Chains A and B, each alone.
Chain A
Amino acid sequence: QVRLVESGGDVVQPGRSLRLSCKASGFMFSHFAMHWIRQAPGKGPQWVAFISSDGSDTYYTDSVKGRFIISRDNSKNTLDLEMNFLTPEDTALYYCARDYQPNEVLVLPEFDPRGQGALVTVS
């Protein structure tokens, strides 16, 4: 079954960098666009970044543009999020999610129901 396992969360000081990873299994990773979504404590989800199935297209929410970089390695079934110049407003649980259907760009994140996310605390 579909598994998305996030890692790399940590406590970091403002201005520092952190790299999150997501290991995918149970589906044809290279056929799906992927997303990073974050959720600050007690808040709703916030979409952060998108990458197309082949990695050629990336999009970001304005608050992270120029600071975060989404990337993927289809040979290793991994999705990364490099986060630079972190601020306290970046504190959140970060989830990776796949797009709902393969070989399309639907921009409909679908989460692993067993996903734990990666907790990033900037303080």
Chain B
Amino acid sequence: IVLTQSPAILSLSPGERATLSCRASLSVDKFLAWYQQKVGQPPRLLIYDISFRATGTPARFSGSGSGTDFTLTISSLEPEDFAVYYCHQRRSWPPVTFGGGTKVE
């Protein structure tokens, strides 16, 4: 399953709302997750099963969607949220697949 993320780059200011999209080539049911990666660090699991926040994920992060179209929303950007975000599917594996990423700058 191929995951396509848009936009590639999202230019916003602190305090603004960020909306990131992920489209799957086939339905992934509920098995869609979001990861955040900062420079020099491994990815961090933020959201799994479309909308469940992983341990430690702030409430300003929310996930939505169904089937093949999904959205990660950051309600009000904090300085530490500027990073690259990847969607991830585990509906059909192997292989587990990641999207190409959206950089929030």
Contacts and interface: CB of A to CB of B under 8 A. Distances in A.
Interface residues of A, number: 24
22 contacts: A44-B86, A44-B98, A45-B43, A45-B86, A45-B98, A46-B98, A47-B95, A47-B96, A47-B97, A47-B98, A50-B94, A61-B94, A61-B95, A95-B42, A107-B90, A108-B33, A108-B45, A110-B45, A111-B42, A111-B43, A112-B42, A113-B41
Interface string A100-111: 100000111111
B90 A59 contact: no
A107 B33 CA distance: 11
Residue from A50, A107, A113 having most chain B Cβ neighbours under 10 A: A107
Residue from B54, B98, B100 having most chain A Cβ neighbours under 10 A: B98
B35 interface: yes
Contact of A111 (B44, B100, B101): B44
Interface of B: 33, 35, 37, 41-45, 48, 54, 84, 86, 88, 90, 93-101
